[in-house]
Amino acid sequence: MNVLLELSVIPLIAALFSAAVRSRIVVRRTVAVLMWAQTALALYLLLPVFNGARLAMPSADFLIDKTAASFIILTVIVVSASVTHASVLYGQERQTHDSRMFFAFTSIFMVAMIAVFTCNNLAVMWICIEASTLFSAPLVYLERTKTAVEATWKYLIICSVGIAFALLGTVMIFAAGQSTANSEGSLQISQLVLNAPKLDSSLLRLGFVFCFIGYGTKAGVFPLHNWLPDAYSEAPSPACAIFSGALINCALFGIFRISQIVLASKNGHIGFEMMAIVVAGAISALAASLFLINQHNLKRMWAYSSIENVGIMLVAIGIGSGSLFLLQAINHSVAKVAMFLQSGNVIRVTGSKRLSNLHGLISFAPEQALLLALTTCAVMGVPPFGTFCSELSVLVSSADARLWVVAGMLIVSLTVSFIAVCLHVGRIVCGTPRPDYRRLPAFTSCAMPLLLLASSLALGFLFNSHVWNLLK
């Protein structure tokens, strides 16, 4: 038995179970329990990695290092939290779509995402990232409305074409290792990093550009982000939470692996390629914050906030700091998953995604309003939440690297987005409620967002302490 197989068993069972069993109640309860079992299993299997243990993998094409292990654990927790919330949500009201489909596809989708982080081979990683697109497309389509069809089409086609370019880039990096006579070349990331200075520099650069465009499309880098707000606004909230909290990390992880090869080829100096990542990140963050000003849809707003965070994470990757990338990814995922789940609650209370229909939540459902406001703080990086520490660290590091323009752009985008989002959320919380709002059971619907919010708070306090040093 190898780790990859062991981590796939429970999700595959969950997928088969939800496809085969007809009772929705049994399915949603069982899958939620299975997902937490998966979390426990992932922690049990992967925690030894932080003590330097090497795990048994199917071949040399797979490898789990500390960063990968952290991301797998993060992904599993994100999926478990979202599935649990979905399970509660589906129990409270009749859904327009088949909830069994949600659980089945989420489970397979999770396997694809876990596989992305275990890859030590560029081409295998490409296959896994493409597979994650394919298994997540049905999640966008779940509501089966006209707009959902449109969003799914855009998602599938734009991401597939984008990722096709990443395949071209992968082939070019492969060819870069074969430019000298008698060299076999390798697709294994560890081999490529080791032999990086010997790679053909022009092919490596071309390959990097194509890979960055490809995986950047999947991550939602401006100006290739078009599909992202559409998909987020149409997918059900728990699926959005997984997209934002886990899928984005997969694509960024791909860019991170490529950047490791590029960085090694320059002996650790930040060259043209890394600067390209930093600049693309800063521009994405700035553009997303400007898009945030004029928003009319609650979920589209958080989608743009995700793009902004992608920008910040790209800056962290471009500086060459994997640990900073991981830090921002963990904090963003935890806060944003809480946000999407809570937004789902708000949408159920008000029955609308349009910001113009959302008013006066504080007088109708104070607990939901309070949680929404607090989660907004967590997402936007208000101290003492974890996102504050990570965003500040990225800022400080970019200033340390003497990237003044980039640091300035980040400050502007963080400020603009904070003001814009606070205004929008302020309008939701205050004012007079509309008469058609519905009540939600406070405890069950708030449990999961509250738990994640507490985690985000804990991450803020744990920063720079023993746990963080272990991850580093």
The residues that touch another protein, with contacts defined as CB under 8 A, are 121, 123-124, 126-127, 130-131, 134, 137-138, 141, 144-147, 149-154, 156-157, 160-161, 164, 167-168, 171-172, 174-175, 178-179, 184-185, 187, 200, 202-203, 229-230, 233-234, 291, 294-296, 300
Whether 376 and 339 have beta carbons less than 8 Å apart is answered as: yes
At residue 450's C-alpha, the angle toward residues 445 and 456, to 5°, is 150
- Based on CB atoms, which residue is closest to another protein, 177 or 360? 177
CB of 33 to another protein, least distance (A): 30
Place of tokens 């965003």: 391
- Based on CB atoms, which residue is closest to another protein, 152 or 417? 152
Q: Which long-range contacts (CB under 8 A, 24 or more apart) does 263-272 make?
A: 263/320, 264/192, 264/193, 264/194, 264/196, 264/197, 265/196, 265/197, 265/199, 265/201, 265/204, 267/197, 268/320, 270/318, 270/319, 270/320, 270/401, 272/205
- Based on CB atoms, which residue is closest to another protein, 90 or 243? 243
CB of 219 to another protein, least distance (A): 19
CB of 421 to another protein, least distance (A): 15
Whether 168 and 198 have beta carbons less than 8 Å apart is answered as: no
- Based on CB atoms, which residue is closest to another protein, 100 or 300? 300
CB of 424 to another protein, least distance (A): 14
Rounded to whole angstroms, how far apart are CA atoms 268 and 115? 28
- Based on CB atoms, which residue is closest to another protein, 355 or 442? 355
- Based on CB atoms, which residue is closest to another protein, 188 or 368? 188
- From 7, 148, 130, 165, select the one nearest 71 (Cα to Cα): 7
Whether 362 and 430 have beta carbons less than 8 Å apart is answered as: yes
CB of 290 to another protein, least distance (A): 11
Rounded to whole angstroms, how far apart are CA atoms 157 and 304? 20
- Based on CB atoms, which residue is closest to another protein, 140 or 285? 140
CB of 175 to another protein, least distance (A): 4
- Based on CB atoms, which residue is closest to another protein, 178 or 323? 178
- Based on CB atoms, which residue is closest to another protein, 165 or 340? 165
CB of 399 to another protein, least distance (A): 32
Rounded to whole angstroms, how far apart are CA atoms 385 and 408? 22
- Based on CB atoms, which residue is closest to another protein, 127 or 399? 127
CB of 40 to another protein, least distance (A): 30
Number of Cβ atoms within 10 Å of the Cβ of 54 = 10
The phi, psi pair for 119, rounded to 5°, reads -75, 140
CB of 123 to another protein, least distance (A): 4
CB of 130 to another protein, least distance (A): 5
Residue 208: which residues within 8 A CB-CB, separation 6 or more?
A: 169, 173, 258, 262, 273
CB of 472 to another protein, least distance (A): 33
- Based on CB atoms, which residue is closest to another protein, 40 or 60? 60
Rounded to whole angstroms, how far apart are CA atoms 222 and 83? 30
* Tokens describing residue 208: 């990097």
Beta pairing partners, 62: 119
- Based on CB atoms, which residue is closest to another protein, 135 or 385? 135
Rounded to whole angstroms, how far apart are CA atoms 60 and 102? 34
Whether 225 and 213 have beta carbons less than 8 Å apart is answered as: no
Is residue 321 classed as helix, strand or coil in its secondary structure? coil
Rounded to whole angstroms, how far apart are CA atoms 434 and 148? 27
CB of 230 to another protein, least distance (A): 4
List alpha helices for 226-321, DSSP H.
227-234, 237-242, 248-265, 272-293, 298-318
At residue 175's C-alpha, the angle toward residues 123 and 199, to 5°, is 105
